[in-house]
Chain A
Amino acid sequence: MKFGVVVFPGSNCDADAFHVCADVLGQPTVWLWHKDHDLRGVDCVILPGGFSYGDYLRAGAIARFSPLMGEVVEFAGRGGLVLGICNGFQVLLELGLLPGAMLRNKHLKFLCQHVTIRVENERTRFSNRAGRGRVLTIPIAHFDGNYYAPPETLAEIERNGQVVFRYTDAEGRLTEASNVNGSLNAIAGLMNAKGNVLGMMPHPERASEALLGGTDGRFIFDSILAGM
């Protein structure tokens, strides 16, 4: 499985994603520069976390105009795997590869902490190694992770089973307190209707080594590997 990690100006979790793909998973991994027009033959594109273009306008709003995004949209259209983490999720929303938008977190503060998310749909390219209802502990680190979509869109993505992860408490219950950023329907991870593009606010690359306090993030990467 060949991974490609996109580097936008302001990406700052690019090296972390690269480290996990290359050093932890032992997969061939390459950098993808935002100004290029070449996906270098990768099987899975990762849009990493960070503050692309400083997020001074709206998170991800400028990154979507990067030259490489044309190739990414086309790749996704052909069924190629695309994983957007945090800022990468925001870019996917701005690109229109996923529906909806992100608002500021409900208490208007940046939040960096471990959260628990429940697997809502285990029959996906990104979650097939985790059983349905399994609760994963993975960190978040964002200011704009409060997912929003109009009611009809929300109904549609729920109907299609596009919600892959939801914020819950450690027992898998939906609670006000565990939905830390205030996302509609407590959505933490969302895929497109075809199931080849996933955006998630939690950082699986930060939970892929026991030394760092947990390996639940590996379920996402291992699912991607298992799907091939």
Chain B
Amino acid sequence: MIDPKILNQHNITPEEYGLIVGLIGRDPNLTELGIFSAMWSEHCSYKSSKVHLKKLPTQGKAVVQGPGENAGILDIGDGQAVVFKIESHNHPSFIEPFQGAATGVGGILRDIFTMGARPIAILDSLRFGPLTSARNRSIMEGVVSGISSYGNSIGVPTVGGEVAFDECYSLNPLVNVFCLGLAEKDKIFYARTESVGNAVLYVGAKTGRDGIHGASMASQEFGEDTEQKRPNVQVGDPFKEKLLLEACLEVMDRGLIVGIQDMGAAGLTCSTTEMPAKSGQGVDIDLDLVPQREKGMTPYEILLSESQERMLIAARPDQVKAVREVFAKWDLDAVEVGKVTEDGRLKCRFHGELVVDVPVNAVVDLCPMYKRPWRSASDAAPAAAAPIVPEPADLGKVLLDLLDSPTIANKRWIYRQYDHMVLVNTVLLPGADAAVLRIKGSGKALAMTLDGNSLHTQLAPRTGGMMAVAEACRNLACVGARPIGVTNCLNFGNPEKPEVMGQFVEVIEGISAACRAFDIPVTGGNVSFYNDTGGVSIYPTPVLGVVGLIQDIDKAVRPGFRAEGDALVLLGRSTNELGASEYLKVIHGSAAGPVPAFDLDREKAVQEACLRAAEAGWLGSAHDLSEGGLAVAAAECAFHSAGGFGCAIEIGDELRADAALFGESPSRILVTVKPEKAPALLGLCGKLGVPAAWIGTVGGSALHISSRGNELLKVPVRDAKAVWMDAIPRRFAHD
């Protein structure tokens, strides 16, 4: 009855099937095959990535929980912990942008509150194809409204993130959602069944036929039948999830449960196998008791449905009544569907018949791990020399063209659709280098950011991986926060292609090296493979989510110029390199390398200088130099300036003017200080071995840059800001 066609539909290889038969001692029935198919999918099992992910540093004295649970946990002192993670929802968001993105938010929120933390912040990293295409605009519009609809309704602020545009994402947009929650360190919950005889309770929304095979869908390339996969995408109900959030936190706070797991990918299958597997136990459940939204569902459908807003709970028998009362208060189902057993098996009954009987550890722990062949991407493509481009005559025009590039432009069109202030913790509004949230009653603040530059990783995977960590930490340094932990979302193409696997291996090596240098643990994350449509892979796109701590909230630093007459100091050194820059791409139409030289020690020193200056209270503002280089960074500081101040900068003539203005050599931060503090800052930099130069002064109403007295550009701040603000709205104006 299980023939090659069925195996193929379940994305199970003949070898894997042989293994399954060996593990359960007979041929599985269709329902059992479905269970293995979901749990052994790339999405759930990490079978292609696990051997490489082991290279990431996961230890640190603040780590309460590293990878392997729903989310990572770090101790932040005062009896509190942060619980955070990032997840992708790329495939569903291409098929159905609104619901795909919305349920991406719903899923990551559950990962956080299932551990006993109240979610307090969402950030998103988004990638779309160019906005010249109506289809890309429609995908972006759908994704943004999906995130907005879910996050706003449930009342967790979307406080930051990043968006970038490139042709490689046209048929494969990326939607990565990060969530952070705050928990009491001694009230954290895990996916456990704990003791034989405990009750297994199903809570939350009813089960329907939506999202069956979602996990396997996310583990395949897209072809021409993508439209037909729409029924595989789940539908979100943020109101239901809000009730679930409050009810779960209430039973946890009252100590009424022993373990809990959300039903995300692979639904009931995942929770009914992972929870007992972690306790070395089994569960025996009656599928007839599972609350169902539709009539006539089969065991296969009930077990593999990915209906949203559901959780599985393990509770002591004497507390079941109290648990049910709490859920009733929040108008939610809480049904005892089975018991924890000692035999280590998942047994499911349906209409009185035993329809599933498999060992849980076979499903959860014994999926084959693959060491897929890989080819070093850096060896395959030796770094090409940067193309020789002519220096444009009108550098002011270049600046305006860059500010009009959607990757650089102001993202208010997006973030004003997100409630970014609910919960009254948001200290820095979206658009700053990093999101900053106060921790009520403590005087401390949390900072967080998402970063990744896929052109860097496409051209140089290992260096690009390092630079992504470095940029994220640099963004934290700019707001005055020291990094404490990392989560990452690794978006790649088909891992069965050796060159894609090569990118993956090298990006991880780069991320590992940088995390070790910064001494920050990776506490979890997500891998999204098969980001290919029609055989074309996306650029390798690691997105780094880094969380930082500011000990004294009053020392948080903002990006906007604060006062006229402040000295502009550039930390780090500019070079003549133009490779992989937004300038080359937008102005010269070339996505060529090489990626600029990068030195981890220099990077660390630059950040240390910025952090010490911030902690000393010297900084009026700080802003990272990234896409668009010095000129764009200075312009953004002016745009963020409450007083609308411009600046005058003198760059010397050692470099090509376009490289000095728009080059993207890494490890640079533009800061301002009172002129009388400038010598102290320069002294600090000298001590730390950081090149630093006093390059100008805040003031006036224009961005004025000159070289040895020759004016290179002079643009009124107002005009430049108008271009930067309008770049994205104007592209949507006629839709």
Contact = CB atoms under 8 A, between A and B. Distances in A.
Contact of A206 (B417, B424, B441): B424
A212 B153 contact: no
A213 B429 contact: yes
Contacts of A106: none
Interface string A163-201: 000000000000000000000000000000000000000
B417 A109 contact: yes
Given A54-B239, A205-B424, A211-B438, A141 B153 contact: no
B552 interface: no
A211 B553 CA distance: 9
Nearest to B141: A109
Interface string B445-486: 000000000000000000000000000000000000000000
**Residue among A9, A35, A139 with the most chain B CB within 10 A?**
A9
A49 B155 CA distance: 10
Given A16-B423, A209-B424, A212-B424, A54 B152 contact: no
Contacts of B84: none
B508 interface: no
A9 B331 contact: yes
A16 B239 contact: no
Contact of B152 (A16, A110, A206): A110
A206 B421 contact: yes
A203 interface: yes
A143 B148 CA distance: 10
Contact of B153 (A13, A15, A55, A139): A55
A19 B440 contact: yes
A205 B148 CA distance: 21
B426 A141 contact: no
Contacts of B423: 15-16
Given A111-B416, A141-B421, A211-B553, A51 B152 contact: yes
Interface string B390-433: 00000000000000000000001001111111111111010000
A19 B424 contact: yes
Contacts of B421: 112, 139, 141, 203, 206, 212
Interface string B302-337: 000000000000000000000000000111000000
A19 B416 CA distance: 24
Contacts of B330: 9
B420 A112 contact: yes
Contacts of A13: 155, 422
Interface string B147-185: 011001111000000000000000000000000000000
Contacts of A16: 422-424
B333 to A, nearest CB: 14
Contacts of B440: 19, 23
Nearest to A109: B417
B242 A10 contact: yes
A61 to B, nearest CB: 13
A35 B329 CA distance: 9
A53 B331 CA distance: 11
B237 interface: yes
A88 interface: no
B153 A51 contact: yes
A9 B243 contact: yes
B238 interface: yes
A109 B145 CA distance: 8
Nearest to A52: B239
B101 to A, nearest CB: 14
A51 B152 CA distance: 8
A112 B144 CA distance: 14
Interface residues of A, number: 32
A12 interface: yes
Contacts of A211: 427, 438, 553
B349 to A, nearest CB: 34
Contacts of B415: 112
B242 A212 contact: no
Interface string A84-120: 0000000000000000000000000111110000000
**Residue among B422, B425, B426 with the most chain A CB within 10 A?**
B422
A49 B426 CA distance: 17
Contacts of A54: 153, 237-240, 242
B416 A53 contact: no
A168 to B, nearest CB: 19
A146 to B, nearest CB: 16
Interface string B242-264: 11000000000000000000000
A20 B425 CA distance: 12
Contacts of A141: 152, 419, 421-422
B419 A51 contact: no
B502 to A, nearest CB: 43
**Residue among B153, B329, B553 with the most chain A CB within 10 A?**
B153
Nearest to B426: A212
Contacts of A109: 416-417
B154 to A, nearest CB: 7
Nearest to A14: B155
A23 B441 CA distance: 9
B418 A112 contact: yes
Contacts of A23: 440-441
A4 interface: no
B417 A12 contact: no
A55 B153 CA distance: 9
B267 to A, nearest CB: 22
Nearest to A16: B424
Interface string A10-37: 1011011001100100000000000100
A9 B466 CA distance: 45
B140 to A, nearest CB: 13
B239 A53 contact: yes
Contacts of A9: 239, 242-243, 330-331
A113 B242 contact: no
Given A211-B438, A212-B424, A112 B416 contact: yes
Contacts of A20: 424
**Residue among B416, B419, B427, B440 with the most chain A CB within 10 A?**
B419
A205 B423 CA distance: 10
A157 to B, nearest CB: 29
A35 B424 CA distance: 26
**Residue among A35, A56, A206, A211 with the most chain B CB within 10 A?**
A211
A15 B418 CA distance: 19
Nearest to B238: A54
A50 interface: yes
B235 to A, nearest CB: 13
A167 to B, nearest CB: 15
Contacts of A56: 239
Contacts of A49: 422
A54 B429 CA distance: 26
Nearest to A56: B239
Interface string A59-77: 0000000000000000000
A12 B148 contact: no
A56 B412 CA distance: 26
A55 B155 CA distance: 13
Given A139-B421, A141-B421, A12 B242 contact: yes
Interface of B: 145, 148-149, 152-155, 237-240, 242-243, 329-331, 412, 415-427, 429, 438, 440-441, 553
29 contacts: A9-B239, A9-B331, A10-B243, A12-B242, A12-B422, A16-B422, A16-B424, A51-B152, A51-B155, A53-B239, A54-B153, A55-B239, A109-B417, A110-B145, A110-B148, A111-B416, A111-B417, A112-B415, A112-B420, A113-B412, A143-B152, A205-B424, A206-B422, A206-B424, A209-B424, A211-B438, A211-B553, A212-B425, A212-B438
Interface of A: 9-10, 12-13, 15-16, 19-20, 23, 35, 49-51, 53-56, 109-113, 139, 141, 143, 203, 205-206, 209, 211-213
Given A16-B424, A141-B421, 5 more contacts: A9-B331, A12-B153, A54-B237, A112-B152, A205-B424
